[in-house]
Amino acid sequence: MSRIEELPDDFDESLNLNEAPTGPAPSLDDLYKQHLATPRTDPISDRSFEEIVQDMSKTPFFMNSLDDATDSDGQNDLLEAIKALQYEGTKAEVAQNFKERGNEMVAEKKWGDAKEFYTKGIAVLHNATEDQWDQPEDKAKEEQLRITLDEQLHVNRALSNLELKNYRSTALDSAAALRINPQNVKAHYRSASALLALDKVLEALDVASRGIKIEPSNTALQTLLTKIRDRAQVKEAQDRRRLAEQRRKQQESLILQTALKARNINVRGTKQAPNLEDASVRLSPDPLSPESMLEFPVMIFYPMHNQTDLIKAWAEKDAVIDHLSYLLPLPWDSKNEYKLSTVECYMDTINGGLMKVGKKLTLLEVLSNGKTEVVDGLVKLFVVPPSLAPQWIADMKRKKGKA
């Protein structure tokens, strides 16, 4: 069955389709030889591929880096011409152009680029010079447009800063927009969002509340206001707990100082207090009860062997021997010099001397005699074998200048 096909519009009608070919069709080998015999034409350009790519990289469409986009003199005339075009027109027209470019970046969520365009627009509006811009035909209309653009650019830059988590800058831009137009709901929303992120809850609550009064049906503001109120409740509870803790510590300190004074125990602090971790002078079991017992951290020194033991909670009615009985004998005392029955105990005195301490005395009896003191919340007790005591005492007197 015959078939009719429609010919394209550009078909050459001079061809005779009814005439048979005059000879056999050329073979593939013939076509290849014909290609080799055809004289080669001159190339379009004598420049290398790399040179062509380098030239293309200097045009804005193909540009990847400003460093590669300049010539040997550091110039790119095409790029400079395009930059100059950005600043052609009246102030309002140039600022409007930057705003539109910024909006394009916002649509692509390129917040950093959007911020830069908005910043350029603001800089144009706040530039004190007028002669570098085209003069408007209607100055009143131009001035009103500048004010509107100033508000829009600030509130738009606030959005960019908010997305970039530049919360302080967001609040400042929103405030600038609100100074121009106190009814700008977007500025209220973005300012309140930034203040909430900074945990300035009261300020955020104030801004959001003013915004919701302007536009009560604004669902975004309503949601934000709920978040702010929830955070305000959490912070209020935290503040109550913190205040209660401060008051409790103040009461504990006052009762502790009263207890120490009532027992005639001298205490003193220095600028180089040791780190005792959780050990401290305290009333136990109830720090708020004057009837509780005093407990002290006590550092026991074995000065002749450079060893120490820390007793974190030594009750005031515990005798020295009560604690030495479980510490002695010492695991490192290979010569068995530290015997409970013979070791001697000493403490520093207020006037810089040494005082021998009886092992059967309680800590309260030792500390309340008026001769000793507790420095930086730590009681120091020196334990020395009797055979080494004279040598140690002489060394201590020499160090203290009392020889």
Q: List pLDDT tens digits, range 99-155.
A: 999 999 999 999 999 999 999 999 999 997 877 888 888 999 999 999 999 999 999
76 located within any domain: no
* pLDDT (mean) for 10-25: 55
8 Å CB contact between 260 and 294: yes
pLDDT over 70 (residue 20) = no
Give the count of alpha carbons within 13 A of 120, CB side only.
18
How many angstroms separate the CA atoms of 256 and 263, rounded?
Answer: 11
Please check whether residues 312 and 216 belong to one and the same domain.
Answer: no
pTM score of the predicted model: 0.61
Please check whether residues 117 and 211 belong to one and the same domain.
Answer: yes
Please check whether residues 312 and 392 belong to one and the same domain.
Answer: yes
Please check whether residues 145 and 218 belong to one and the same domain.
Answer: yes
* pLDDT (mean) for 256-283: 93
pLDDT over 80 (residue 61) = no
Of the three residues 232, 267, 290, the one that is the final residue of a domain is: 232
Of the three residues 232, 253, 272, the one that is the final residue of a domain is: 232
Of the three residues 201, 232, 263, the one that is the final residue of a domain is: 232
pLDDT over 90 (residue 357) = yes
Please tell me the total count of domains within the chain.
2
Range(s) of the domain holding residue 144: 84-232
38 located within any domain: no
pLDDT over 50 (residue 3) = no
Could you report the per-residue pLDDT of 223-237, keeping only the tens digit for each? 999 999 999 999 999
The least confident of 49-63, 349-363, 387-401 is: 49-63
Segment holding 195, helix H or strand E: helix 185-197
65 located within any domain: no
State the pLDDT confidence band at 346, using cuts at 50, 70 and 90.
Answer: very high
393 located within any domain: yes
How many angstroms separate the CA atoms of 239 and 259, rounded?
Answer: 30
Neighbours of 269 (CB within 10 A): 10
How many angstroms separate the CA atoms of 276 and 76, rounded?
Answer: 68
- Average pLDDT along the chain: 87
| Residue the block writes with tokens 């002290």 | 296
200 located within any domain: yes
Segment holding 153, helix H or strand E: helix 139-163
Please check whether residues 88 and 228 belong to one and the same domain.
Answer: yes
Closest CA to 396 of 336, 354, 359: 354
State the pLDDT confidence band at 1, using cuts at 50, 70 and 90.
Answer: very low
| Residue the block writes with tokens 């974190």 | 312
State the pLDDT confidence band at 62, using cuts at 50, 70 and 90.
Answer: low
State the pLDDT confidence band at 204, using cuts at 50, 70 and 90.
Answer: very high
Closest CA to 379 of 367, 392, 361, 391: 367
271 located within any domain: no
Q: Pairing state of beta strands 282-284 and 293-302?
A: antiparallel
Please check whether residues 301 and 380 belong to one and the same domain.
Answer: yes
pLDDT the model gives residue 73 = 64
How many angstroms separate the CA atoms of 235 and 255, rounded?
Answer: 30
pLDDT the model gives residue 166 = 98
Strand segments (E) across 204-292? 267-268, 282-284
